[in-house]
Chain A
């Protein structure tokens, strides 16, 4: 059996049983698969933010999380027949560009002050 459909049925939202007797190469992607991929991408980015020590990798993980959000927006936009999701994801990309610029400027500033990119050493405000 195909893994994706089994995953959907495990959630309890399996497709109609009529699709089961179709050719085994038929792969039907529902919104749930988009949601699962987006969730996994977001989680990977979250782990990167929390677990990595390199400030640059932390910033890259934030970009991954924004990508996950965009994926959700676009998928729902198509299902709802509304262009709003696509326009909103363009705005999210804009915000991501500004965030990357500021974050990288902060990276350079941090590197000048501390000669390191380790986030654990930037702990002045930790008390």
Chain B
């Protein structure tokens, strides 16, 4: 790990600074999502956060995941959020409290997560230099694109989870329709 430390390590120089910028933007927009009082502002900050995380994915050579992130999160989920915000438009009460008093539970959870995290970070040696830098764009020994490699893996090695995910999406769609429709007759 000490030899060729700067050349073998993945993100150096300009890419490293890009990571710093994207990381700071990610965390800043995430804080803004949580802190903003207006849900529309929260949703727009969330959109910015999704896009910056997609930039981080692309920086990590996961181009397909970055594109899916932009399409699914930035396109689908964000439209869904904005539609629901418009549907339920609640009056903004001036002095309404945005936060509830669960700070103690949140801090407890933070400690519960932070201690093992720091322990693992301090003791574990994670691999830093990949064995095969082209692993993301290879099928067998041929070098192709990242999307093709992901598709190859998805349809060959993970076919059953793929089908289960499609069934899951069908169930979620039916469930959302049933939950969202007005009750035709009085049930309760």
Contact = CB atoms under 8 A, between A and B. Distances in A.
Interface of A: 4, 11-13, 15-16, 18-19, 22, 25-33, 35-37, 39-48, 50-54, 56-57, 59-61, 63-64, 67, 70-71, 74-84, 86-87, 89-91, 93-102, 104-109, 111-112, 116-117, 119-120
22 contacts: A11-B122, A19-B6, A27-B19, A32-B126, A33-B23, A46-B109, A56-B85, A61-B34, A67-B73, A75-B60, A78-B136, A79-B126, A81-B131, A81-B133, A82-B135, A87-B150, A87-B153, A90-B68, A90-B154, A93-B72, A106-B179, A117-B88
B19 A15 contact: no
Interface in B122-136: 122, 126-133, 135-136
Interface in B81-113: 81, 83-85, 87-88, 90, 97-100, 102-103, 105-106, 109-110, 113
B77 interface: yes
Given A97-B72, A102-B175, A47 B106 contact: yes
A79 B81 contact: no
A124 to B, nearest CB: 12
Contacts of B132: 81
Nearest to B23: A37
Range, interface on chain B: 35 or more
A46 B106 contact: yes
Given A90-B68, A95-B168, A74 B77 contact: no
A13 B121 contact: yes
A83 B26 contact: no
B113 A39 contact: yes
Contacts of B69: 70, 93
A34 to B, nearest CB: 8
Contacts of A50: 102, 105-106, 109
A97 B2 CA distance: 43
